[in-house]
A and B are shown apart, each in its own frame.
Chain A
């Protein structure tokens, strides 16, 4: 795993270095046409992002998931400081997830720190596709053999 991970009682912190300048990394979060190229799980074939990228603006993601069909969810931007910070919350079947991302300028690189609080007891893919159960079991054994903090 390239990300550095810290798992708490009810929060997750991920730190990742991208080999790109901060403005470009931020653009891949801000621009729906760019975001939909990498959003969604492995079984997602297509993502449509409808975003009002401003504080208080809403977003909707519509995903096409192999073997299961269409799944969509909504959220709202709680804070945006371009190109340093994005905070949003999203709703998944009764649970609200809150995510805050900070982007640090490191010249040709960008350090991103993501904090997530609130974890639906169903992953998006598991909610709609039974076929992914197997892949999550594989993922589970992979995750449990790695250290939770530190890079592999």
Chain B
């Protein structure tokens, strides 16, 4: 249970940063990309991109393959599933709160009806 919580925390921390979300978007449906190629559209330094990639890797949202000095990055599709399932739980939580709110709204309006 604690491991799952740590894993989720890592995923949400990774996704909280807009640059990292854009990196994931760039990788989507692309297969493997070299780190240097991936860094090109982002106007930040290579070390900064590398830091972002390490966070994404720690969160298991990407996979890295090394061939000599070249690093290849790809999306880890399974990594996102856990996060999305968790977010869905929040949807269910809100929905059940709103079911209760529905009942209270009904009662409140019944009280206002003229007899």
Residues of A within 8 A of B (CB): 1-3, 5, 7-12, 14, 16, 18-20, 24-25, 28, 34, 37-39, 41-42, 94-95, 114, 116, 118-119, 121-123, 133, 136, 139-140, 142-144, 148
Contacts and interface: CB of A to CB of B under 8 A. Distances in A.
Given A9-B15, A10-B83, A25-B105, A143 B89 contact: yes
A7 B1 CA distance: 23
A151 B6 CA distance: 32
19 contacts: A1-B95, A2-B102, A5-B91, A10-B83, A12-B90, A14-B95, A16-B98, A18-B102, A24-B108, A24-B109, A42-B96, A121-B4, A121-B6, A121-B86, A123-B89, A139-B89, A140-B85, A142-B92, A143-B92
A13 B85 CA distance: 14
B59 to A, nearest CB: 11
Contact of A28 (B8, B24, B89, B101): B101
Contacts, number: 111
B77 interface: no
B91 A19 contact: no
A32 to B, nearest CB: 14
Interface of B: 1, 4-9, 12, 15-16, 21, 24, 80, 83-102, 104-106, 108-109
B95 A9 contact: no
